[in-house]
Structure 1
């Protein structure tokens, strides 16, 4: 299974990038 890759623009945004990858893998777009 392939997972979507989301690049974070700052080291403080790792949690948001992780949540966005999880949502994209389930077909949801949050941003």
Structure 2
């Protein structure tokens, strides 16, 4: 569930923001 949530939210957020949230979230998950 955690992976799906971050994936869906990340994709939408990353595209709207640019690519900052994606990196931050990836690090937190990793």
* Both proteins in one fold, TM over 0.5: no
* Structure whose CA Rg is larger: 1
Structure with the bigger percentage of helix: 2
How high is the TM-score relative to the length of structure 1?
A: 0.39
Higher relative contact order (CA 8 A, sep 6+): 1
